[in-house]
Structure 1
Amino acid sequence: MWRRLAQILGLLLCLLGWGFVGCTLAMDHWRVAQLGGQGGSSVVLTAWYWSDLWRDCYEDSTALVNCVDFGVLWAVKPYIQAVRGLLMIGLCLGLIGVVLTFFGLECTHIGGDPKSNDRMLITACAFHLLGCLSDVAAYCLYTNRVVAAFLHAKADPSKLSYDIGPALYIGLVGSFLILLGCTVHCATACRLKHPKRYPLVSFTGGKGEENEVLRGKKHICAPSKRTNDSRNVSLYKMASVVTV
């Protein structure tokens, strides 16, 4: 019973993480830069520059947003193309992993015997892990470019100093949930029921007496020589008494 509940919990964690990663593709504010907002005057002007995987936008203090969409695919910066590709690969692998997980669950009764279910579940975990690695690589690549732009802005004040937006944090949380769900599935797929089996060893005694050792115990199938001698002695004594 606990294995089924753990498998359902792992599936829910993987689905939740997969949904978080998918939402980040359409989210805004991957990186954010703020200008103004300093006091000392009667009117405080603030402007925000933010970007995502599809456009660059400018927003002023009156909530007026002006965006410029990225052009054709080959005109986009290479690292943005790489982030898009890695996230899409991760989502496709995660979708395959979810489908295989349904076949590997015990409560669905689709995969067959328990061994085939465990193999299917381990295969689904492998797809989930590959997708998680692809997602984490995409987020780390984008974070690296944001940090590089921040360091360049520190060296040159004329450039914008971008910060990491909430979309990256949500994506990293989703990747952690996928990893946690894979851990739960791997723990349920590894069965620990391995009974100890002792070998059946047969050997021959001194005069053809067959002995058997089973599970650390010795069973004698034939009567021993000592018992035969004691019986012969007792019969001899009885015969001598009768003769007298």
Structure 2
Amino acid sequence: MVSIHMVIGFVGICVCCGIPMWRVTSYIGANIVTGQMVWDGLWMNCVMQSTGQMQCKVQDSIMRLTQDLQAARALTVIAIVIGFIGMLLTFVGGQCSSCLKKESSMAKVLILGGILCIVAGVICLIPVCWSSAYTISDFQSVLTIETQKRELGASIYIGWGASGFLLFGGIILCTSCPPSEDMYPKYPGMYPYQGPMYGPPGSYLPAKTYAPSAVYTGAYVPNKPYPPPTYSPVPGQYL
């Protein structure tokens, strides 16, 4: 069964990749009426005026982005693909699916799906932490102009939450579904037949034969002779 944590984490990664709120700046000019907010994202930049009007521009060239956002583009897309494959495997190996018949195979597929979700969470966590560190260092730098300073946007927090959900869901799935092997036969009292022992290729080892402790000659000779029975005159009695 697909864990609800994985679904929330996968949706969170998609939202984090799509919305243009990796860096947010808000400032007010000389006149209080003229204020604006600037949103920087992976795919577009948006400017919202104080009047409520918003203008967005798609990033035509990836070279205009900073290094952290360039890496975030690739890593978030990779995380989405890996997370989708992990969720698909957990669905295939779930109890409600009839694709697999053996419980051991289902458990192995579920564990593989959980591992892929953990990998997706780690891949998503890398660009989010990198971008947040870059934004904080740029904000604290004295060389940055006051109107160009950026703050952490909503995408950073959504990415942290999505990574946490994917990691938590993948760990739960890997620890709660150990592969069950058929250690015992299906029917009680029935044991599988073990064939003869073979040595190196091309050689056959017959079963061991043991020499008898005494040689049988075909005639039995008692150690102590017994006299023949004698009968009394009375019928049915022995002497």
Shorter-chain TM range is 0.5 to 0.7
Matched residue, 1:17: 9
Matched residue, 1:186: 174
Q: Structure 1 residues 193, 123: CA separation in 2 closer, same or farther (over 3 Å shift)?
A: closer
The 8 Å contact of residues 111 and 120 in structure 1, kept in 2 or not, is answered as no
**SS of equivalent residue, structure 1 residue 112:** coil
**TM-score, normalisation: structure 1:** 0.66
Partner letter of residue 157 of structure 2?
Y
CA distance in 2, matches of 1:146, 1:126: 31
Confirm or deny that 1:70 pairs with 2:59.
yes
Shift of 1:158: 4.2
CA distance in 2, matches of 1:148, 1:165: 15
Question: What is the RMSD computed on CA atoms of the aligned residues?
Answer: 2.7
Matched residue, 1:175: 163
Q: Structure 1 residues 53, 94: CA separation in 2 closer, same or farther (over 3 Å shift)?
A: same
Matched residue, 1:56: 45
CA distance in 2, matches of 1:70, 1:77: 12
Unaligned runs of 5+ in 2: 184-239
- Equivalent of 1:29, from 21, 26, 34? 21
Judging by fraction of residues, say which structure has more helix. 1
Partner letter of residue 86 of structure 1?
L
Shift of 1:157: 4.6
**TM-score, normalisation: structure 2:** 0.67
Shift of 1:188: 1.8
Residues 136-182 of structure 1, C-alpha deviations (whole Å, 9 max, x = no match): 01211211221122112x45454522111112111211111111211
The 8 Å contact of residues 79 and 124 in structure 2, kept in 1 or not, is answered as yes
CA distance in 2, matches of 1:120, 1:104: 5
Confirm or deny that 1:149 pairs with 2:141.
no
Q: Structure 1 residues 187, 73: CA separation in 2 closer, same or farther (over 3 Å shift)?
A: same
Equivalent runs, 1:1-244 vs 2, <5 Å: 8=1, 11-36=3-28, 43-152=32-141, 154=142, 156-158=144-146, 160-190=148-178
Residues 40-88 of structure 1, C-alpha deviations (whole Å, 9 max, x = no match): x7x5432212211122332221122233432234454333221010001
Query: Size of the alignment, in residue pairs?
Result: 183
The 8 Å contact of residues 106 and 114 in structure 1, kept in 2 or not, is answered as no
Which structure has the greater CA radius of gyration? 2
Identity %: 21
Residues 6-29 of structure 1, C-alpha deviations (whole Å, 9 max, x = no match): xx3x52221121011111221122
**SS of equivalent residue, structure 1 residue 56:** strand
CA distance in 1, matches of 2:180, 2:29: 61
CA distance in 2, matches of 1:151, 1:62: 30
Shift of 1:97: 0.6
**SS of equivalent residue, structure 1 residue 127:** helix
**SS of equivalent residue, structure 1 residue 171:** helix
Matched residue, 1:205: none
